[in-house]
Structure 1
Amino acid sequence: MSYTREIQIEFNHCDPAGIVFYPRYFEMTNSVVENFFNDVVGRSFASMHNGANNGVPTVALAAEFVAPSRLGDKVLFSLRIEKLGRSSVSLKIEGHMGAELRLRVALTLVWIDGMKSAAWPDAMRARLVAYQEDAA
């Protein structure tokens, strides 16, 4: 099981050649992560960042741009947990249009509390573990 989110490619995502300008993919993948935390983990980015003094910054990121996406395309992004650590989580995100792979992203996030890495709060860890097991 993967967490999925469809994103339609808009004019603001494209470069003069009419394809997605690669930094826009990072914005899209961050949106997928943000929605995953809200929908699955039960902690919105707003609740983490507005006064709670915690969050999940990206500490590693690698991307492969396999095929171009163009204005009007609807790309289905899927996220799955690869590894859950004491304070980190490694994710894989793929973007497909139909059967065609458009991009593949591997990223690692770290839970921080008070601007230092910390163990996942019990409730968040339980949801991440349950989701990881559901995906297996």
Structure 2
Amino acid sequence: MPQVWSSPVRYVECDQQGVVFNAHYLTWADEASYGWWAAQGLAWDDLVTRGVDPMVKASSLEWASSARWGDTVTVDADTEQVGRTSVTVRFTVRVGERVVCVVRTTYVCVAEGRSTPWPDDVRARLTGG
């Protein structure tokens, strides 16, 4: 079941065409990521305290339609793929049932400044095992 985050579209998030400026979709995915990590049983602060630092390696955006000022966007966050050192999360941004954008973000486990395999307990949580 996806983790859900929601917010009304603010006027400041819109461009002169009256639609949401593209960079805000990444911000919304980032906002939703905190809930996604917590839903995995992996509080961000706890990971960092342990020396596990998930860092964004890549994000991609694929638009289907526009969100506009006055809309309420909902972001569903789902695990898409878990690798040895990475995890890709799919953030589906929608207005009601209409999909507006899909953001895919790949996080890499970093320790001491370089990519490293997920600790066993973290990987187990990421894979649902």
Distance, in Å, in 1 between the alignment partners of 2:119 and 2:11 is 39
SS of residue in 2 equivalent to 1:37: helix
Report the Cα distance in structure 2 between the residues aligned to 1:115 and 1:41, rounded to whole angstroms.
24
Q: Does the CA contact (< 8 Å) of 1:78 and 1:94 recur in 2?
A: yes
**Counterparts of 1:121 and 1:52 in 2: how far apart (Å)?**
10
1:43 match:
43
Over the matched positions of the two proteins, sequence identity in percent amounts to: 23
Could you tell me which residue of structure 2 aligns to residue 125 of structure 1? Answer: 123
| Deviates most, 7-16 or 51-60 | 51-60
TM-score (norm 2): 0.86
CA distance in 2, matches of 1:14, 1:52: 39
How is 1:22-37 mapped onto 2 (pairs within 5 angstroms)?
22-37=22-37
In the alignment, what sits opposite 2:81? 83
C-alpha contact (below 8 Å) 1:61/1:108 kept by paired residues:
yes
Determine the structure 2 residue equivalent to 1:63: 61
Q: For residues 28 and 72 of structure 2, what CA distance do their matches in structure 1 show?
A: 12
2:13 aligned residue: 13
Q: From the two aligned structures, give the one with the greater helix fraction.
A: 1
SS in 1 for 2:62: strand
Q: Structure 2: 5+ residue runs without aligned partners?
A: none
Amino acid corresponding to residue 34 of structure 1 in structure 2: Y
CA deviation after TM superposition for structure 1 residue 75, in Å: 1.2
Partners of 2:37 and 2:7 in 1: how far apart? 17
Number of aligned residue pairs: 129
